[in-house]
Amino acid sequence: MSEKFTKESLKNDQEDARWAYDKAREKFFYSMLELVFLKIKAILNEKGVKKVSEMDEKRNNNENFGVEFSQKTWTALAEAWNPTEADAMSKIAELYGLIPSDLDMSKFPSFDDDDIEKNLHDLDDLKC
């Protein structure tokens, strides 16, 4: 069954998807942060434990430093995730037979069209 798409329905669908994306991304980042912290904690040696403890104490005793540290943490997560997300989007888009011109990349300002294009693979390379 074929659905008729109007500009209004497309706009509403995009807004709904963007809202859901933002909520899911926030939840994902908290999960990713927890995973990263747990992984670091799992592999710390005594010297590493001491460094982390000293940094946590500094964060607890200096609110400005704590805020700055937190901002840098979220930035690091975003920087680590963005290229991975672009690669995953490219691979899934390819499964649908989509090419960059099928996507409105202005809806995702954190992506550069080059990120998507450089990650596109020849459909023959994807074996399902």
* Ordered DSSP codes for 72-91: HHHHHHHHHHHHHHHHHHHH
% the chain with pLDDT above 90: 55
Q: Answer yes or no: is 34 within a domain.
A: yes
- Counting the structural domains of the chain, the total is 1
pLDDT tens-digit series, residues 43-92: 999 999 999 999 999 999 999 999 999 999 999 998 998 889 889 988 99
Q: Answer yes or no: is 16 within a domain.
A: yes
Q: Answer yes or no: is 1 within a domain.
A: no
Residue 104 lies in domain? 8-125
pLDDT tens-digit series, residues 36-46: 999 999 999 99
Q: Answer yes or no: is 46 within a domain.
A: yes
Q: Answer yes or no: is 47 within a domain.
A: yes
Quick one: pLDDT at residue 45? 95
Give CA–CA dist 50/47, Å, rounded. Answer: 5
Q: Answer yes or no: is 37 within a domain.
A: yes
Q: Answer yes or no: is 95 within a domain.
A: yes
What is the model's pTM?
Answer: 0.64
Written as one letter, the residue type at 71 is Q
Q: Answer yes or no: is 3 within a domain.
A: no
3-state secondary structure labels for all residues of 9-37: HHHHHHHHHHHHHHHHHHHHHHHHHHHHH
